[in-house]
Amino acid sequence: MKTVLVTGAYGQLGVACTNYLKLNFNVISSGRQAEGMGIKLDITDCDSIEHAQNEFHPDIILNLAAMTNVDGCEIDSQLAKSVNVDGVKNLCNGFYGHFIQISTDYVFDGLSGPYGEADEVNPLSVYGRTKLEAEDWLSANHSQTTILRSNVVYGYTERTDASFVKWVIDSLSNKKGIAVVDDQWNNPTWIESLTDIIGRLMNEEVTGLYHYGGYDYMNRFEFAQLIANVFDLDISLISPISTRDLNQLANRPLKSGLKTEKIQSALGIIPNSVETCLQEIRKQLSE
């Protein structure tokens, strides 16, 4: 059984991946603070990484550790580079196995999405630039690499405080009105679908650059309305707003999203519709 070292394993995607992968792999969960059966691992600390690799000898590294606070990256670009770029380099130092890097649609400028893998990149933010720099370094320096870009990852568990779906459901359930941007377009990605894709990439040892997202292309306002409909919540509590009205530090790609034909062909899959995934979340919450 192959050993997988999962970094950033205590976030929503990390927990989902750990639970899924442990059925077929020996999974070593890691994060900046150890939890449960996992280990403490700081990807900015070379000694910490060397110790983990010498102890567990991973065959695969799944890198979920990242500084993902987009505005926070603008405030502290040095920290963003340390985590998102140098952390990747540190993990690959002396490691020659399969490295899987989770990336983002923020490597694009959002002028003409959805995007395919061959489309020109042009990140608008420090976050996007650091993720792209990590991609470029991996492509040039680590031959057995899979780069998987995704967008608007959602779910609803105790680990999903930052989840858009959880925010919408919790707000509307408490009769609280929300304003949602209607000019940011993506194909939202259910966390369990993404986890399944990651497992397939590992099992089939697929390398290269791939995009994965849900079947439906919609703006955030439409996404919020669909969530309300599936969960029988008051849709009138949702009002549209433009991105510029939020006065965020970092620019966001507006017309973004990811084309999935390449990964569909490679793995023989068809992404689920957002409504199907939301219905499954509702079913799980009722069990």
Each residue's pLDDT tens digit, 154-195: 998 765 566 889 899 999 999 999 999 999 999 999 999 999
Q: Does domain 3-162+187-214+257-272 have CATH number 3.40.50.720?
A: yes
Q: Which residues contact 118 (CB under 8 A, 6 or more apart)?
A: none
**Domain ranges (residues) in the chain:** 3-162+187-214+257-272
CA-based end-to-end distance of the chain: 32
pLDDT averaged over the chain?
95
**How high is the pLDDT of residue 32?**
84
**How high is the pLDDT of residue 161?**
61
User: Residue 145 forms beta bridges with which residues?
Assistant: 99
Residues 120, 97: Cα–Cα separation, whole Å: 29
Residues 47, 45: Cα–Cα separation, whole Å: 6
**How high is the pLDDT of residue 162?**
67
Residue-wise pLDDT for 13-27, tens only, equals: 999 999 999 999 999
**How high is the pLDDT of residue 160?**
56
Residues 43, 95: Cα–Cα separation, whole Å: 13
Residues of the chain with pLDDT under 50: none
E strands, the chain, in order: 3-7, 26-31, 39-40, 60-63, 98-104, 145-150, 153-154, 178-181, 185-186, 189-190, 208-211, 218-219, 238-241
Residues 28, 37: Cα–Cα separation, whole Å: 8
Half-sphere exposure at residue 52, Cβ-oriented, CA atoms within 13 angstroms = 32
